């Protein structure tokens, strides 16, 4: 790529050294890169064509997902939004259970 670096997003330095497991709500959105495919992460990080500012934290992403606002982001269809939801479950930010509770196995 012509030797040019891609622009860094706020918190990218934290994300590269983040060892939060699971990802905390106050972690920068870049920490979700480990649990999201690039096809979902890149448009999410930039919030392309959305009526809101790009999410700054993983908690912001969880809130947008919960409110059903991810559909406003250009490049995120049902498949990518599902991947984001599953990534948030893997990160520990959503339970994946209706009503927000977990069932004992």
Whether 60 is in a domain gets the answer: yes
pLDDT score, position 77: 96
**Token duo for residue 7:** 């622009």
Whether 82 is in a domain gets the answer: yes
Whether 26 is in a domain gets the answer: no
- pLDDT tens digits, residue range 31-63? 999 889 999 999 999 999 999 999 999 999 999
- If DSSP codes are grouped into helix, strand and coil, which group holds residue 65? helix
Tell if the pTM clears 0.85, that is, is over it.
no
Residue holding tokens 């406003």?
72
Whether 48 is in a domain gets the answer: yes
pLDDT score, position 10: 46
**Token duo for residue 76:** 């995120």
Whether 91 is in a domain gets the answer: yes
Whether 63 is in a domain gets the answer: yes
- pLDDT tens digits, residue range 1-22? 344 333 444 445 555 556 556 7
Whether 105 is in a domain gets the answer: no
Number of domains observed in the structure of the chain = 1
Q: For the CA atoms of 7, 54, 61, 45, what is the dihedral angle to 10 degrees? A: -30
Whether 68 is in a domain gets the answer: yes
pLDDT score, position 3: 42
Q: What value does the mean pLDDT take over residues 77-103?
A: 79
Task: For residue 51, list its beta bridge partners.
Answer: none
Residue 30 above 70 pLDDT? yes
Domain of 89?
37-96
């Amino acid at each position: 790529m012509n030797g040019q670096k891609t622009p860094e997003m706020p918190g990218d330095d934290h994300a590269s050294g983040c060892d939060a497991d699971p990802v905390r709500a106050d972690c920068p959105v870049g920490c979700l890169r480990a649990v999201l495919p690039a096809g979902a992460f890149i448009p999410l990080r930039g919030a392309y064509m959305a009526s809101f500012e790009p999410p700054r934290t993983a908690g912001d992403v969880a809130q947008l997902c919960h409110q059903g606002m991810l559909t406003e982001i250009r490049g995120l269809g049902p498949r990518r939004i599902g991947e984001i939801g599953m990534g948030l479950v893997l990160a520990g930010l959503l339970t994946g259970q209706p009503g927000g509770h977990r069932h004992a196995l």
